[in-house]
A = this chain, B = another copy of it.
Amino acid sequence: MENGSVAAIKPPGVTKITFLVMMGVAGCGKSTLGIAVAQALGWSFIEGDDLHPAKNIAKMAGGTPLNDDDRATWLASLREKMDTYRQIGQPAVVACSALKQKYRDMLDGPDLLYVYLRGSKATIRKRLDARAGHFMGPDMLQSQFDILEEPTGALVLDIEKNPQQLIGEILMAIELPNYQVGMVGLGVMGRNLAQNLQNHGWSVIGFDPAIDQAIVPTLRLASSPAELVASLQTPRKVFVMVPAGESVDEAIKGLLPALSAGDVIIDGGNTHFKDTQRRTEELSKQGILLIGSGVSGGESGALHGPSLMPGGNPNAWPLAQSMFESIAAKTSHGEACVSWMGKGGAGHYVKMVHNAIEYAMMQLTAEIYDLLHRGLGTNNTQVAAAFKQWNQGRLHGYLIELTAQVLTKQDPFTGGHLVDVIADQAAQKGTGKWASQDALDLAVAVPILNAGVEARILSANRELRGMLAKAYPNTTNSSNYSPTLDQIEEALYAAFLLAYAQGMEQIRAASSEYGWEINLANAVSVWRAGCIIRADILELLVQALQQPQSDRHLLLAPIIQSTLNSCSSSLRAVVSGGIERSIPMPAFASAIASFDSVRSATLPANLIQAQRDAFGAHTYQRVDIPGTFHSEW
């Protein structure tokens, strides 16, 4: 019976033990071991003796053994408490002597396992002698052995073994699972990622107090972070998929007590890279290896293969790499869209810039839609057709395809185009804003990316826009020069290229400033599938990054030069065409203005420096003589 396998112990059909009842005579270690087991499992602990009514305690303290009636009252209270736990789904370890079968019958249930702590009278005598403050004196031990009926169907343990051994035997007996990955946070992203892991053969255990089994029928759920951790193979790997910010700190705090040095936590949320920097450092002091990973592709990507941008503690990567590679999106050549971005916040930084590029690309497509639709009178179907056609060429990519698709979608309420009844107020979640703010700190100019964020802000107040539209009626002449569809394609291609390039240069500057050594080609490569900004244009960028001078600036790569030089006059024409028709094209305007700025050998900043020196003695440099100068103006 001892060390009996769980198959022999667990009643057939029972998949989950909710109660472990530690039983045996006084002094066998029910409470001590019970508390340790509860801790290991993250379960509650119920001290049966606490439920004795006062009269029982008085009787025992007076040296009188309890009779069966006394025990019946007590066991009924315990049973009641356990039923309460059952109702809320809270598993518990119970310490209760349960010496006779009829006592045990009062507590029994299909989700309960008795753990009988067996020891010789001599061993227990010795333990009781060493113990102080217990209300049952050692002289009552004999009466306990007298009434003890050893259980059947219980897990029997030899109390001579050390506690760690005993805990191990208990965890084995209740078939505590041996999962490969933990998933904390089972919102759509978390559960889709869990499903993706399962689809690739990884065994996953999940935890989320807000999610019940019905929502994730194929996922084993732990009752606590500690149980989740206890159910994982070591070194453990736990994904945290909760909203960025304090929730991540809370989730990590919940996991920490149960984790061991060498375990890996993966934060797959849209966390600010500075938080990831901080957490990587803090956790490494405790030997815990954090990965902060960008996960791109939305709900569908999480399920079918996201683009993954991991960074953090470099020691974590060898432990997690195969898992990341198996769940990542694959390119048409079968390459996994995942690469180690660098230490600290590198992964979340790349994801943040990815999102800023995404904002910019969406805004650029929206401006083209506005120019065609409102500016040139093209209807939705025709605009969709243009995007569809462009998607056959070098603009081929997810956002172009998606734009064609959403423009043709019918509205079930009105029968017209759905896009026409959608409120023109774009929402944002923060990553685009963070990217703009950090670009300012780094002194990197990313005007197209900023325009994407600003345009969403500008769109927010519809009512005010309605009032201002009345105050400022459109008086522009619509008979102006109209750009052709080919020119618009060239303009959009150039603007996309410039937006990517600005994002890449921001990543380069951040990598240098924060010491991450990010390989830009790796960043571009992982965006080729799974994520929203995937597009053929990325192949051009990969190529460009192999060309001379691209290590200095992407726009210096010959392949980018020839592309932009052939498209820039169309870009110019399209922006002018928009401005002349009062079509707001902030992202396109930023594209041409920043392009013309960086390719201007001279800029009028000399006037600004002159002004600054004239009013504030801020000094200036000269182009012809080295040094710092100040003039009396």
Contacts and interface: CB of A to CB of B under 8 A. Distances in A.
Contact of A450 (B365, B418, B454, B622): B454
A422 B623 contact: yes
Interface stretch (A100-108, A131-139, A553-561): A553-561
A465 B614 contact: no
Interface core residue of A399, A614, A625 (most chain B CB under 10 Å): A614
A476 interface: yes
A475 interface: yes
Interface stretch (A46-54, A215-223, A402-410): A402-410
B399 A606 contact: no
A258 interface: no
Interface string A454-481: 1111111000111111011111100000
Contacts of A617: 188, 298-299
* Dominant secondary structure at the A interface: helix
Interface in A591-607: 592-607
Contacts of A579: 572, 575-576, 579, 592-593, 596
A152 interface: no
Contacts of A585: 593
Given A585-B593, A609-B427, A633 B555 contact: no
A82 interface: no
Interface in A219-260: none
A586 B580 contact: no
A575 B577 CA distance: 12
A589 B593 contact: yes
A2 interface: no
A366 B608 contact: yes
A598 B615 CA distance: 34
A440 B453 contact: yes
Contacts of A464: 552-553, 598
B456 A608 contact: yes
A267 interface: no
Contacts of A120: none
Contact of A420 (B414, B445, B606): B606
Interface stretch (A163-171, A484-492, A563-571): A563-571
A69 interface: no
Given A440-B437, A568-B472, A299 B419 contact: no
Contacts of A593: 451, 579, 584-586, 589-590
A440 B434 CA distance: 9
Interface size class of A (residues with CB under 8 A): 35 or more
Contact of A298 (B399, B458, B471, B616): B616
A433 interface: yes
A474 B599 CA distance: 9
Given A299-B617, A594-B458, A472 B611 contact: no
Contacts of A423: 606, 609, 620-623
Interface in A363-398: 363, 365-367, 369-370, 373-374, 398
Given A445-B457, A589-B590, A471 B597 contact: no
A373 B370 CA distance: 34
Contacts of A606: 419-420, 422-424
Contacts of A584: 593-594, 596-597, 600, 603
A620 B427 CA distance: 9
Interface core residue of A441, A592, A603 (most chain B CB under 10 Å): A603
A443 interface: yes
A286 interface: no
Contact of A608 (B300, B426, B465): B426
A614 to B, nearest CB: 5
Nearest to A188: B617
A379 to B, nearest CB: 14
Interface of A: 188, 298-300, 362-363, 365-367, 369-370, 373-374, 398-399, 402-403, 405-407, 409, 413-414, 418-427, 433, 436-437, 440-441, 443-445, 447, 450-451, 453-460, 464-469, 471-476, 532, 549, 552-553, 555-556, 561, 564-565, 568-569, 572, 575-576, 579-580, 582-586, 589-590, 592-612, 614-618, 620-625, 631, 633
Given A405-B614, A450-B454, 8 more contacts: A366-B604, A407-B610, A447-B586, A451-B593, A467-B552, A468-B599, A572-B579, A586-B593
